[in-house]
Amino acid sequence: MSKLRLNGSTSGYVELEAPAVADNGVLTLPTAAAGFGAAGIGANVVQTVKIDVFTTTSSTPVDVTGLSVTITPSSATSKVLIIADLQFSGSPRSLMYLLRGATSIYESTGASLSDTMTWNDVTLNARSHTSATKVFLDSPATTSATTYKIQMTDGKLNQWNLDTNFNSVSSITAIEVAA
């Protein structure tokens, strides 16, 4: 049996082997139900990396400028895996929220701080900061462009508490997962 090799643009390859049937020169790929293109992580991946500092003194959540991603799911049944890697400091009550559009997601049904994405509870010395990585699998149920963003209260993103010589990097990534 002969094989057809498709080489990647920079590395790697995929080999296709013809089925053991009459040789008519036509390659028929299996259907999604048979496993080709079925559920799994697709090629729809969007990421935003924020390298500059964002500061707020607001006691109510505000959008972190430049820390959002917009993804357009290929199917209304797709899920979207959100990975937020956040570096922040500030008051002991700096709160971080994950939103889809204007709706806060990844919440508990509890009260107060349990409804937040994460919060900073470190001592207020010059080099204190909090590192938080949050992972959430969302079901937006749409094929429209969907924006995920981070909001925060009273704090600094990407800067250690009082020492401006030590800055960090934060990111948010959205990955479509076919259902």
- pTM for the model stands at 0.71
- In this structure, of 23-32, 99-108, 137-146, the range with the lowest mean pLDDT score is 23-32
pLDDT at residue 36 is higher than 50: no
Best mean pLDDT range from 5-19, 27-41, 129-143: 129-143
pLDDT at residue 178 is higher than 80: yes
Report d(CA 15, CA 6) in Å as an integer. 6
- Report residue 39's pLDDT band, with 50, 70 and 90 as the boundaries: low
**How many H helices and E strands in the chain?**
0, 13
- In this structure, of 6-15, 54-63, 91-100, 123-132, the range with the lowest mean pLDDT score is 123-132
Half-sphere exposure of 80 (CA within 13 A, CB side): 32
Question: To the nearest 5 percent, what fractions of the chain are helix, strand and coil?
Answer: 5, 50, 45
Contacts of 77 (CB under 8 A, 6+ apart): 141, 178, 179
Arithmetic mean of pLDDT over the chain:
77
- Report residue 32's pLDDT band, with 50, 70 and 90 as the boundaries: very low
* Beta strand 155-157 pairing with 79-90: antiparallel
Helix (H) / strand (E) containing 17: strand 13-17
Residue (of 163, 158, 105) closest to 131 by Cα position: 158
- CATH of the structural domain 40-178, one choice from 3.40.50.1860, 2.60.40.650, 3.30.310.50, 2.60.120.1340: 2.60.120.1340
Segment 62-116, tens digit of pLDDT = 999 999 999 999 999 999 999 999 888 766 667 788 999 999 887 666 554 444 4
* Beta strand 40-50 pairing with 170-178: antiparallel
pLDDT of residue 171: 95
Under 8 Å between Cβ of 105 and 136:
yes
Segment 41-58, tens digit of pLDDT = 666 999 999 999 999 999
User: What is the mean pLDDT of the segment spanning 124-132?
Assistant: 63
- So where are the chain's domains? 3-34, 40-178
Residue (of 85, 72, 95) closest to 145 by Cα position: 72
Task: Give the SS3 label for residue 136.
Answer: strand
- What DSSP designation does 34 have? G
